[in-house]
Structure 1
Amino acid sequence: MTLLATFKHISSKNADYGAAEQYLTFEHDEFTMKPTLDETGRLILREDYRIATLNCGEEDFAVACMRANLRYGKNQKREDVKSHHYIISFDPRDAADNGLTVDRAQALGEKFCAEHFPGHQAIVCTHPDGHNHSGNIHVHIVINSLRIEEVPLLPYMDRPADTRAGCKHRCTDAAMEYFKAEVMEMCHRENLYQIDLLHGSKNRITEREYWAQKKGQAKLDKENATLAAEGQPAKQTKFETDKAKLRQTIRNAMSEATTFDEFSALLLRQGVIVKESRGRLSYLTPDRTKPITARKLGDDFDRAAVLTLLEQNAHRAAEKTVPIPEYHTAETNRTERGKTQKIAPTGNIQRMVDRAAKRAEGKGIGYDRWAAVHNLKQMAATVAAMEQYGFTPDELDAALVSANADLHSSTAKLKPIETAIREKKDLQKQVLAYAKTRDVRDGLKKQKTDKARKAYREKHESDFIIADAAVRYFRQKDIIKLPTYKSLQAEIEQLTAEKNALYNEYRANKERVRELQTMKSNLSQMHHGEPSRQKKHEQER
């Protein structure tokens, strides 16, 4: 499972709503999902978590959900989906780099739940750690599938029943796309790390494959421990699932082949048959009767990606037949070295401590000794970085000016896209609000007399206020033909993907500026140095 910010959904048919709260507040075995018990057979409370309920009044989440189900006569059958479980997992680096705390994540989760699941009884719980102590803070949002209040028509809803009290929440593909876009937008807004959630992944690992790998690795570790105790060497230390082995086999074939026929032949030698149907690839292994589609393996294995890589291999092979001599001088080597490092900065240099200033603040001898060691380490790291980049002090200043220009440029690119996304979302809300009043507006046309029309407008005054506000908005924006919800959503997703790519560029430029500023500060402190103890004594006198 990736450790970057992700969004996941699980539907549950379990009628015991208390089980969800129990899982969130008590420790559970990550393999069996059964609660962990102490020596006396009691449940063990999780060490740290934050939890809150929404729309439950003074009642417990489970009690409130069961009362609502009885009131509306819903969720009484075994096959009914009783609850929906959404999980927002943040990047582990957010805690150290961006100040993300459990309390802040809980507040973000509660806000996300209130905005996107209004009218549902919900429980929001934040845990400070993930599986294997990965350190990724994550938020669980569990909602009763039944809606207890009338709510506005939200962008991911496409049926009138999606807004009514007594109807159930539907997690459609369109809804998941919308939620992922909103999670990305939230991460951008809060200055947190983020990846593009809207466009697949190179290796698509499902929940089932993830747990198969975990259980297989645990079993293998146990067997290796037994062999070690008997003094025998371990044959294998890393467990791989069948899909992981297939991915590696396909990658090896892709790296060697230059044509699709060659690619198919290389796979056939390994017992894998590649099939193409309707422009899509699938792979059949000897132990299976049904092929595995490229979509289930990852984006790197679909037809377009495979053909692109094969074409690159063909060009590379053609270039090798006609080698071009290259001559490098010390200056070009230094330039190339500087360009490479600009793309991938080390980012491990910290500012040196002003020991004199800290002593003046009242820091003790223990802190001063630590600061002396810290400064020596940072001096060595700074000198190493200067040599690695090939910078002179003047070139460092020029690089810092260039890095600041790149940072301002990436910031300038982000702002118009952010404005466009905000405007598209505002338009989408107005379009949805106007569409919701269609039945009321059509009802007005059916009224025959002025008296009837006046009475009808007074009866549906709130709907006409919403419709009139939407019409004023359209006139202000000079919108004659209203766009459809799907077209607006597609535009928002495209803009969000563009923003995500630019945001990653912005963070890289920001890190570059920080590193160069730290190097410059450290160099300045190294050149000026600290006053000697004799001078300090003279100054103190």
Structure 2
Amino acid sequence: MATFKHISSKNADYGAAEQYLTFEHDEFTMKPTLDGNGRLLPRDDYRISSLNCGDEDFAIACMRSNLKYGKNQKREDVKSHHYIISFDPRDAPDNGLTVDRAQALGEEFCKTHFPGHQALVCTHPDGHNHSGNIHVHIVINSLRIAEVPLLPYMERPADTREGCKHRCTDAAMEYFKAEVMEMCHRESLYQIDLLNGSKNRITEREYWAKRKGQAALDKENASQAATGEPPKQTKFETDKEKLRRTIRAALSSAVSFEDFSGKLLQQGVTVKESRGRLSYLTPDRTKPITARKLGDDFDRAAVLEALTINAQNAARAAETPLPKQEYPRSIKDRLQRNKAVINAPKQDGVQRMVDIAAKKAEGKGRGYEKWATLHNLKQMAATVSVYEESGFSSPEELKAVLAAASTELHETTGKLKAVESTLREKKDLQKQLLAYIKTKPARDGLRAQKTEKARRAYREQHESDFIIAESAARYFKAQGITKLPSSKTLQAEIEQLTKAKNALYNEYREKKENVRELQTVKSNLDKILRREPERGKGRENER
């Protein structure tokens, strides 16, 4: 599941960014790690490349451009933007993600979304917490050194002009996250929905506060263990983590907002509502913490929904319960056990049995025969276990369930292809629309010309703009579009379609895995049923 982060920097030393990417740094102090002779230690493994820097070093190229355009000369100016794409640790073993492949994806992402900017793209094979996640750093000079096309996340004409600066707005971050999700889907990598909020929103500051606090606590516990004292606490919690735990405890038993507020007040926490938003004030603070900074589970809508469910459960519990009817376990129960979104197919489960006779005919030896015999025994036991666990009464019932699952998979595939087709059409329309919008100054200028001679001269002078505008107009006519949509509306539709496509893709992968497992069980069961008479015949001959 790839994640996407952004950090803006006001540091005028562009070389510090490259030094961080290529040399070891302490994860807490962010200072360079030195060897015994006081020299910098290079990182063990990384890939790095620069874009739009010519033959110069990244830092020199950036400073030269800043002087040329007179930008980034003040202390408060944002000098660079640092974007980080972190891939799931499972992508390397499961999906074949390598450092070189991640570097190529990062360079492509940078060229597509940050054209005209001097940039560094660097890929590291592991995170600072040694989780094994490959991640790509993209550092760009905030100054743009060339005019670029109008991209979907850009909102002003200055966002495309040479000599102007890059702006990372909320709309831009939403767009970048959607593009990262699209990239993961295209490359068959693990993914999560980055466009929706997080139940627990952990900021960069809180993450590092927890890491440093845990390190200090471990050090203190180690010193106490040396003297024989038992540790009082082993897990460090930030103030926000404690507040989340307190809110969840109150929310688990409250049946109304007044009840919820009263339970929090008993713990010293005051909940406030302003303009439809909740905030929480702890005794040690003068400024409340907003629900947005804690996570989606703590905003007004989520709290009221949880309280409503608690009230309904309390009402049901007050009623006389009916005797619960027990149903036998069936394949439908097993297949529908987990309805939550699954990001990737399972890697374990029943495997197909090997046709030993056919493999021996191909020239396999006794070593392979011994392994295949043991493998078939294991898969035979696993097949029987799944068959009984699923509640099948006959092979015909298994065949019927497999046919139904295959039909559902085919329907989901059709829906996914339809959404993908619509998404492609919307993106093509967006591309033509953005190109057409960019030619508006040229088209307005043509209307301002008074004479035919002036119009011809003006048209020749801006010939490229009119070629683009006419091409876009032909596209709109071919598609039967008489009224152009707004770029914001179109971008919102693309984001919704991206969400729908990701949800359908996850459903497709889940159903595909279910069909594969059922096919494997059916194939193994057919082999078992065919072999049983042969075994009986062999025993009779032995007698």
Instruction: Please give the TM-score of this superposition, normalised by the length of structure 1.
Output: 0.91
- Give me the whole-angstrom Cα distance separating, in 2, the residues matched to 1:421 and 1:433: 18
Alignment of 1:137-536 (within 5 A): 137-328=134-325, 332-334=328-330, 337-341=333-337, 343=339, 348-349=348-349, 351=351, 354=354, 356=356, 377-391=378-392, 393-524=395-526
What CA deviation, in whole Å up to 9, does each residue of 1:317-363 have, x standing for no partner? 1111224434545x534467435546489752252573847777777
Question: Does structure 2 retain, via aligned residues, the 8 Å contact 1:341–1:389?
Answer: no
Deviation at 1:406, TM superposition (A): 2.3
Moved more, 271-280 or 53-62: 53-62
Give the structure 2 partner of residue 100 of structure 1.
97
- 1:323 and 1:106, CA in 2 relative to 1: closer, same or farther beyond 3 A? farther
- 1:512 and 1:290, CA in 2 relative to 1: closer, same or farther beyond 3 A? same
Question: RMSD value over aligned CA atoms?
Answer: 2.6
- Give me the whole-angstrom Cα distance separating, in 2, the residues matched to 1:430 and 1:220: 57
- Give me the whole-angstrom Cα distance separating, in 2, the residues matched to 1:364 and 1:17: 62
What SS is found at the alignment partner of 1:153? coil
Question: Does structure 2 retain, via aligned residues, the 8 Å contact 1:352–1:374?
Answer: no
- Give me the whole-angstrom Cα distance separating, in 2, the residues matched to 1:363 and 1:267: 70
What CA deviation, in whole Å up to 9, does each residue of 1:29-61 have, x standing for no partner? 211112222333322222222222111222222
Give the structure 2 partner of residue 26 of structure 1.
23
Q: Match of 2:167, as an amino acid?
A: R
What SS is found at the alignment partner of 1:414? helix
Moved more, 118-127 or 346-355: 346-355
Give the structure 2 partner of residue 129 of structure 1.
126
Question: Does structure 2 retain, via aligned residues, the 8 Å contact 1:347–1:511?
Answer: no
Deviation at 1:153, TM superposition (A): 0.9
Question: Does structure 2 retain, via aligned residues, the 8 Å contact 1:150–1:163?
Answer: yes
Give the structure 1 partner of residue 541 of structure 2.
none
- 1:188 and 1:234, CA in 2 relative to 1: closer, same or farther beyond 3 A? same
Q: Match of 1:338, as an amino acid?
A: R
Deviation at 1:10, TM superposition (A): 0.6
What SS is found at the alignment partner of 1:505? helix
Deviation at 1:170, TM superposition (A): 0.9
Question: Does structure 2 retain, via aligned residues, the 8 Å contact 1:349–1:382?
Answer: no
Question: Does structure 1 retain, via aligned residues, the 8 Å contact 2:331–2:392?
Answer: no
Structure 1 unaligned regions, length at least 5: 536-541
Give the structure 2 partner of residue 539 of structure 1.
none
- Give me the whole-angstrom Cα distance separating, in 1, the residues matched to 2:331 and 2:521: 19
Moved more, 38-47 or 191-200: 38-47
What SS is found at the alignment partner of 1:140? strand
Instruction: Please give the TM-score of this superposition, normalised by the length of structure 2.
Output: 0.90
- Give me the whole-angstrom Cα distance separating, in 2, the residues matched to 1:156 and 1:258: 43
Structure 2 unaligned regions, length at least 5: 539-543
- 1:368 and 1:213, CA in 2 relative to 1: closer, same or farther beyond 3 A? farther
Deviation at 1:427, TM superposition (A): 1.7
- Give me the whole-angstrom Cα distance separating, in 1, the residues matched to 2:362 and 2:14: 56
Q: Match of 1:462, as an amino acid?
A: S
- 1:18 and 1:385, CA in 2 relative to 1: closer, same or farther beyond 3 A? farther
- Give me the whole-angstrom Cα distance separating, in 1, the residues matched to 2:474 and 2:121: 38
- 1:30 and 1:371, CA in 2 relative to 1: closer, same or farther beyond 3 A? farther
- 1:275 and 1:190, CA in 2 relative to 1: closer, same or farther beyond 3 A? same
Moved more, 320-329 or 521-530: 521-530
- 1:236 and 1:483, CA in 2 relative to 1: closer, same or farther beyond 3 A? same
- Give me the whole-angstrom Cα distance separating, in 2, the residues matched to 1:371 and 1:485: 60
What SS is found at the alignment partner of 2:328? helix
Equivalenced residue count is 529
Give the structure 1 partner of residue 37 of structure 2.
40
- Give me the whole-angstrom Cα distance separating, in 2, the residues matched to 1:342 and 1:272: 36
Moved more, 510-519 or 279-288: 510-519
- 1:43 and 1:158, CA in 2 relative to 1: closer, same or farther beyond 3 A? same
Deviation at 1:146, TM superposition (A): 1.1
Moved more, 317-326 or 341-350: 341-350
- Give me the whole-angstrom Cα distance separating, in 1, the residues matched to 2:119 and 2:360: 52
- Give me the whole-angstrom Cα distance separating, in 1, the residues matched to 2:65 and 2:373: 65
- Give me the whole-angstrom Cα distance separating, in 1, the residues matched to 2:51 and 2:97: 23
Moved more, 335-344 or 475-484: 335-344
Deviation at 1:380, TM superposition (A): 4.4
Q: Match of 1:295, as an amino acid?
A: R
Deviation at 1:143, TM superposition (A): 0.8
Question: Does structure 2 retain, via aligned residues, the 8 Å contact 1:337–1:390?
Answer: no
Q: Match of 2:348, as an amino acid?
A: N
Moved more, 271-280 or 32-41: 32-41
Q: Match of 1:143, as an amino acid?
A: I
Q: Match of 1:165, as an amino acid?
A: E
What SS is found at the alignment partner of 1:39? coil
Deviation at 1:315, TM superposition (A): 0.9
What CA deviation, in whole Å up to 9, does each residue of 1:71-103 have, x standing for no partner? 222222222211111111112222233222222
Deviation at 1:285, TM superposition (A): 0.7
